[in-house]
Amino acid sequence: MGNVAISVDRLTKRYSLGLQARHDTLRDRVAAALSWWKQRRSDDAGKGREFCALTDVSFDVKPGEVFGIIGHNGAGKSTLLKILSRITAPTSGTADIYGRVGSLLEVGTGFHPELTGRENIYLNGSILGMRRAEITAKLDEIIDFAGVEEFIDTPVKRYSSGMYVRLAFSVAAHFEPDILIVDEVLAVGDAGFQQKCLGKMRQASRGGRTVLVVSHNLPIIENLCQRALFLAQGRVALTGTARDVVQAYAGMTADLARSALDTRTDRQGKGHVIATAIEVLDQYRNVSSSAICGRETIVRWHYRCVPDKIIRRCRVELSLHARIGDPYETAYFLMSTDLVSPLPLDLSGDGYIDFRVPEWPLSGGQYYVMSYVESDKEVQDWVHNASLLSVVDGDFYGTGKSYPPNWRGKSVLVKYDWTQTAREAVHSFL
């Protein structure tokens, strides 16, 4: 099939919930049997419960094509890439790949924390299928691309996440596979490194290699990919040109953000505490339909915990992201409980936290709110585009003016003043 690099046909992946993994010792088998017997006797054993991560997914990718995959959390993107990378097997259907595959699904996959960067290049390169001579020939180029020359003989456990991902991507990119699969790792690198990665992927495509990209960064998908796939709840919602798919995704994202937060299923975390609603209040604690630029505003975050449990040492974050219609997923500002208060936060039952902003700094428009809560550094509930927050333009500066005429850069406003110093007076004789 010379005109196809990846062929996916009616791919389905189901997971059985609540089942024990296989046990190899007699003691473990006896314990597992007792656990199974107890579950059979319980009324809520949940027998036959299954979770379908992918259902009837079909698509083709051509050789030399840069193909994007987008979708909300829980849509099945990671499951699909694991099947394509032969990490897990499908329940039914087929996923045929024609050529050597290089996968970068997680930051530093295949790295050993105790080994140096140099040693990990050889280790990771071997895992990817490179010969030692091939790695040695490309070693300097890999190190230079990653920008970690100064730390190349330092154990990678001392690397920052940015250094980690730069080195991991550099190894995978210089492996020069027929098909390169990249999953969200570019979100860790800085802007300069992201541009280098994008250039490397374009170069790979021009050289006839196929690139499969998963990203929440819609501009990357739209500008880098020729075609894209939109996954929704494990099914193909749309396949087409990158522009058409991105527009469809943006429309569904807005609809999802308008839905009830406590019923959302596209969330990540252990779920011992979850966000149930986000409200905007004015300075008098009255619920408002919109925040007003320049006015005191309260963003109220409602939560619910599992019964009879105290969730210790929590951190709650709300971040405001790009307005509907803005092509860039800009994070304008972040509010976090532990940034402004050293007090430990314990949550139980249900309730709410009020984030008070004395002078709302965002200009008119609609913004997405991301909700995040963790306890003891474990993610409890993480919902992208958890809510829509409307903002009305106001007299932020107290002058009756907000922007110069025809100014299009409306976003964050800041308080400032200005002074003039004349170094030399010019006399007019008119």
C-alpha to C-alpha distances, 296 to 23, 29, 322, 360, 419, nearest whole angstrom: 59, 61, 21, 6, 28
Q: Check whether residue 238 and residue 266 sit in a common domain.
A: no
CB-based burial label for 14 (10 Å; 0-12, 13-18, 19+): middle
Looking at residue 170, its pLDDT comes to 85
Same domain, yes or no: 274 and 384: yes
Three-state DSSP string of the chain: CCCCCEEEEEEEEEEECCCCCCCCCHHHHHHHHHHHHHHHHCCCCCCCCEEEEEEEEEEEECCCCEEEEECCCCCCHHHHHHHHCCCCCCCEEEEEECCCEEEECCCCCCCCCCCEHHHHHHHHHHHHCCCHHHHHHHHHHHHHHHCCHHHCCCEHHHCCHHHHHHHHHHHHHHCCCCEEEEECHHHCCCHHHHHHHHHHHHHHHHCCCEEEEECCCHHHHHHHCCEEEEEECCEEEEEEEHHHHHHHHHHHHHHHHCCCHHHCCCCECCCCEEEEEEEEECCCCCEECCEECCCCEEEEEEEEECCCCCECCEEEEEEEEEECCCCCCCEEEEEEHHHHCCCCCCECCEEEEEEEECCCCECCEEEEEEEEEEECCEEEEEEEEEEEEEEECCCCCCCCCCCCCCCCCCCECCCCCCCCCCCCCCCCCC
Q: Find where tokens 């050293």 sit.
A: 342
The gap from C-alpha 58 to its chain's centroid, in whole angstroms, comes to 24
Report the predicted TM-score, pTM, of the whole model to 2 decimal places.
0.68
Which two structure tokens, joined as six digits, stand for 374? 């963790």
Instruction: Kindly report, residue by residue over 34-86, the tens digit of the pLDDT.
Output: 554 555 554 444 445 678 999 999 999 999 999 999 988 778 998 999 899 88
Give 366-381 pLDDT, tens digit per residue: 899 999 999 998 999 9
Residue 184, in any domain of the structure: yes
- 45 & 186 share domain: yes
CA distance 210 to 410: 39
* Domain endpoint, select from 201, 224, 254: 254
- The CATH number assigned to the domain holding 386 equals 2.70.50.60
Same structural domain for residues 44 and 145? yes
Place of tokens 């690139």: 211
193 and 306, same domain (yes or no)? no
Q: What is the pLDDT of residue 96?
A: 94
Task: Give the model's pLDDT for residue 187.
Answer: 58
Q: In this predicted structure, what is the pLDDT of residue 9?
A: 95
pLDDT of residue 341: 85
Residue 154 in any domain: the answer is: yes
Q: Are residues 278 and 216 in the same domain?
A: no
Per the structure block, which two tokens stand in for 225? 């990919």
Please tell me the predicted confidence (pLDDT) of residue 143: 94
429, part of any domain: no
Query: Which of 221, 254, 287 marks a domain boundary?
Result: 254
In this predicted structure, what is the pLDDT of residue 106?
63
Q: Does a structural domain hold residue 326? A: yes
Question: Do 77 and 177 reside in the same domain of the chain?
Answer: yes
pLDDT tens per residue across span 317-326: 999 988 655 5
Domain that holds residue 223: 6-254
Residue 388 main-chain phi, psi, to 5 deg: -105, 135
Q: Could you tell me if 275 and 385 lie in one domain?
A: yes
Is residue 342 located within the same domain as residue 300? Answer: yes
Instruction: Check: CB of residue 412 under 8 Å from CB of residue 361.
Output: yes
pLDDT in tens, 386-424: 999 999 888 888 887 777 766 766 678 888 888 778 887
Determine the Cα–Cα distance for residues 279 and 272; give it in Å rounded to an integer: 22
> Of 392, 410, 425, which marks where a domain is finished?
392
Question: Does 118 reside within a domain?
Answer: yes
Q: Are residues 321 and 365 in the same domain?
A: yes
Is residue 17 in a domain? yes
pLDDT of residue 43: 46
What pLDDT does 185 receive?
Answer: 58
Q: Are 215 and 286 within one domain?
A: no
Q: Are residues 240 and 343 in the same domain?
A: no
- Domain count within the chain: 2
Question: Has residue 411 been placed in a domain?
Answer: no
Q: What is the pLDDT of residue 7?
A: 95
- Is 1 among the domain residues? no
pLDDT of residue 209: 86
Task: Look up residue 37 and give its two tokens.
Answer: 């017997």
pLDDT of residue 181: 87
CATH number at residue 195: 3.40.50.300
Per-residue pLDDT of the chain (430 residues; tens, 9 = 90+): 568 999 999 999 998 765 544 445 555 555 555 554 555 554 444 445 678 999 999 999 999 999 999 988 778 998 999 899 888 899 999 999 998 887 776 655 668 889 999 999 998 888 777 889 989 999 999 999 888 999 999 999 998 877 887 888 888 778 778 888 888 756 555 667 777 777 878 888 888 889 999 887 777 888 889 999 999 889 999 999 998 998 888 788 788 888 899 999 888 899 999 999 999 999 899 999 899 999 999 999 999 999 999 999 999 999 998 865 554 456 889 999 999 887 889 999 999 999 999 999 998 888 999 999 999 989 999 998 899 999 988 888 888 777 776 676 667 888 888 877 888 766 665 5
Cα torsion 207, 208, 213, 219: sign: positive
Q: What is the reported pLDDT for 394? A: 84
Whole-number pLDDT of residue 277: 96
